[in-house]
Structure 1
């Protein structure tokens, strides 16, 4: 297994360098003409694995180009001064993870065995795993691409298989509850349902753990020895796994607490460009720590996990606009930055005097907007906002000839008319 994983990684780096030389191309057909023969002869890869390498490298460059375009737009809008450097050099692949295509590179055998491709031919092995997933495979459910993952700490390989589960199409009448979820750093989330019941999850303990990782990494970087570098690599993987495990737990907590619900999630696209500022070496340690906390905020991962887990729990996640959710009073509709004194956790409406927790106010506003999405869904039969599409795509069914900005402005005007009354929100 070491031979095939190392050969695959070397092939990725070779194809990445060739793509960089070909004007940083993201075209898989163009890359295929340039490297296919070399991948077969020089690295000994099979035909399907060679094609998978080309597609993976092309997709990586496409992602880099997309990020570059987003950065250019953010710089033009003065959201950031930082230049994106992802295409200054050829992307380098370090992981020994490789991708297998079902029916070509791996296949299921009788008796709980799987056949996988190696440089020396096929290898038939017994497998074990999560029982619910094994039952799905035994029933013959559709399986997609798989990843052969190498865990360095245990010197062990794992075959991670994508299992496709058929679920019924969601219907608005099948989701009786609506939950608004406000994500943040001081509170990982604050969720409020249509009956006014709220769930708070503080982030102080996780932030302390992240600060511990940061202090340890800083000390190891100063030390600079080979053993310190190895320790840094181990810490990086440990911190990533810690955050992913925490987000899995938070997503499951929400789904089990609010079953059969429509979860409203804020559209936080490009938020990093809006909140991060140009690096200044003269700023205080407190400001640097705040910027680090912002850069480590894993809201997108939490929202993604909640969105893909929701159908398994009979729920659904939709995306709503995040504008003014923590500045708008849901009692009278007044919107102002002054409603949040010193941008703190206290909300005090300048117009009607309503007080509350700022994050809970945001979650209530998100719940109101989610209720509006549900009402439109029931009246039109089309769900307009989903968490896995962009804002322009989400609003296209109702946009006609109007631009995405005009459609969003119209939605914001509708939001301004919403008022919160748990007794009549059902």
Structure 2
């Protein structure tokens, strides 16, 4: 099995090399916007072959791109349009099912590329040399640059790791170029017999993650010191964008990326601790794809002020990023992460199986089963239900020899059959009703 990590290499440039890289970046960005307008004018085309046929000559003559970059630009724009078309189709399905009334507007105008980050194809646009040097392509030919980076990543580069397409990224605050290189690493294939631990991971806002294993041990990772800061940055960015003055724009540039880096750092720390404390385990994560469309929440004027605030908060945190970090770090530590159903994980009683909205009074942090009166922290209930569903997936894996990495959502009948099996699961340890374990 292979997993991918990204090596961040700092490039050492002279003034002339710096100018060459910057000019290449800006020309690449202008080329992306040109092809984007071309695709929009031709029925929002997503076919990369036709885009290349229609724009290759212009990219070479007008923007002076090397041949390989002139092929990469239509490919990137085609991928963007293909993703937007997928969202349009998903939105049409959700509107037909009355999950949402909003129409997706991503294709109402041509996508605009703002970031000057460009793609380099390994072996064609860039290659590594001896003594920590790399050769990269610019508008006026190749230049050779020294680089530095994390020792472990540099060692992997020098000892035969499979290298993919890189990105040339410019850090405007530090006026420094970085080469972001994906490294494909071979890891041992996890087996059901080697994954001795089962851990359920519930993600949220008040607690970024709550974990529970089969022995009753649990951990709470609070968002108390992080979420308010992220919310502050979001409010500040909104006010400055609404103001729109030159000074507001300068302030936006100064604080750009702070909210994103704050969330990324929090997700890195939480995911690293979860994986470190769960060696050789099968980690169960919630399947949250299209979760915002699946949940029938009150929105707009029908929603209360508290509900609108909760909707906004749940949409801002990067749950997918946290889960992806857990997944790749788990493989590096000999563990594995899979997706399980997120339906009713915090509303189903782990002792008796009773499922009802009333089990969570006022959608608070307290879970009280209306059937057996079992009382526990609601997020811990979610983690335990996820853990039991993960245990069921491991048992199926051991008996059939095949593991499903995510639940099948193709039909309502399959979903009903899964929920029926989940209703038979029972938590049989007598644990405390209060949160326990580590907290971060």
Cα pair distance change 1:384/1:283, threshold 3 Å: closer
Q: Structure 1: which 5+ runs fail to align?
A: 393-402
Q: Secondary structure at the match of 1:214?
A: helix
Instruction: Confirm or deny that 1:321 pairs with 2:341.
Output: yes
Q: Secondary structure at the match of 1:154?
A: coil
Match of 1:391 among 399, 408, 421: 408
In structure 2, how many angstroms separate the alpha carbons of the residues matched to 1:26 and 1:249?
38
Cα pair distance change 1:283/1:345, threshold 3 Å: closer
Partner of 1:414: 421
Quote the offset at 1:422 in angstroms.
Answer: 4.3
Quote the offset at 1:278 in angstroms.
Answer: 4.0
Q: Secondary structure at the match of 2:367?
A: strand
Instruction: Confirm or deny that 1:14 pairs with 2:31.
Output: no
- Contact 1:81–1:278, Cα closer than 8 Å, also in 2: no
What whole-Å deviation, never above 9, does each CA across 1:37-76 have from its counterpart, x for those lacking one? 1111111111111111111101100111111111111212
In structure 1, how many angstroms separate the alpha carbons of the residues matched to 2:242 and 2:417?
53
Instruction: Confirm or deny that 1:142 pairs with 2:162.
Output: yes
In structure 2, how many angstroms separate the alpha carbons of the residues matched to 1:374 and 1:295?
31
Match of 1:405 among 407, 412, 416: 412
Partner of 2:80: 60
Quote the offset at 1:217 in angstroms.
Answer: 2.5
- Contact 2:195–2:281, Cα closer than 8 Å, also in 1: yes
In structure 1, how many angstroms separate the alpha carbons of the residues matched to 2:74 and 2:91?
26
In structure 2, how many angstroms separate the alpha carbons of the residues matched to 1:422 and 1:143?
47
Quote the offset at 1:307 in angstroms.
Answer: 1.1
In structure 1, how many angstroms separate the alpha carbons of the residues matched to 2:149 and 2:78?
32
Q: Secondary structure at the match of 2:193?
A: helix
In structure 2, how many angstroms separate the alpha carbons of the residues matched to 1:46 and 1:22?
25
Alignment of 1:277-426 (within 5 A): 277-280=298-301, 286-386=306-406, 391-392=408-409, 404-422=411-429
Cα pair distance change 1:286/1:321, threshold 3 Å: closer
- Contact 1:17–1:90, Cα closer than 8 Å, also in 2: yes
In structure 1, how many angstroms separate the alpha carbons of the residues matched to 2:198 and 2:50?
48
What whole-Å deviation, never above 9, does each CA across 1:68-88 have from its counterpart, x for those lacking one? 111111212222222111000
Instruction: Confirm or deny that 1:174 pairs with 2:194.
Output: yes
Match of 1:39 among 59, 66, 76: 59
Partner of 1:100: 120
Partner of 1:111: 131
Quote the offset at 1:404 in angstroms.
Answer: 3.4
Quote the offset at 1:233 in angstroms.
Answer: 3.4
Match of 1:82 among 102, 110, 131: 102
Instruction: Confirm or deny that 1:260 pairs with 2:280.
Output: yes
Partner of 2:234: 214
Match of 2:261 among 236, 241, 246: 241
Q: Structure 2: which 5+ runs fail to align?
A: 1-20, 431-440
Q: Secondary structure at the match of 1:382?
A: coil
Number of residues of Structure 1 aligned to a counterpart in Structure 2: 409
In structure 2, how many angstroms separate the alpha carbons of the residues matched to 1:169 and 1:361?
31
In structure 1, how many angstroms separate the alpha carbons of the residues matched to 2:421 and 2:144?
60
- Contact 1:81–1:277, Cα closer than 8 Å, also in 2: no
Cα pair distance change 1:214/1:144, threshold 3 Å: closer
Coordinate RMSD, CA, aligned: 1.7
- Contact 2:298–2:307, Cα closer than 8 Å, also in 1: no
Name the structure, 1 or 2, with higher relative contact order (CA <8 Å, separation 6+): 2
In structure 1, how many angstroms separate the alpha carbons of the residues matched to 2:308 and 2:399?
49
For normalisation by structure 1, the TM-score amounts to 0.92
In structure 2, how many angstroms separate the alpha carbons of the residues matched to 1:30 and 1:69?
22
- Contact 2:234–2:259, Cα closer than 8 Å, also in 1: no
Q: Secondary structure at the match of 1:391?
A: coil
What whole-Å deviation, never above 9, does each CA across 1:347-374 have from its counterpart, x for those lacking one? 1111111111111011101000000110
In structure 1, how many angstroms separate the alpha carbons of the residues matched to 2:293 and 2:256?
24
Alignment of 1:146-161 (within 5 A): 146-161=166-181
Instruction: Confirm or deny that 1:187 pairs with 2:213.
Output: no
Quote the offset at 1:277 in angstroms.
Answer: 4.7
For normalisation by structure 2, the TM-score amounts to 0.89
Quote the offset at 1:384 in angstroms.
Answer: 1.4
Instruction: Confirm or deny that 1:50 pairs with 2:54.
Output: no
In structure 1, how many angstroms separate the alpha carbons of the residues matched to 2:429 and 2:192?
19
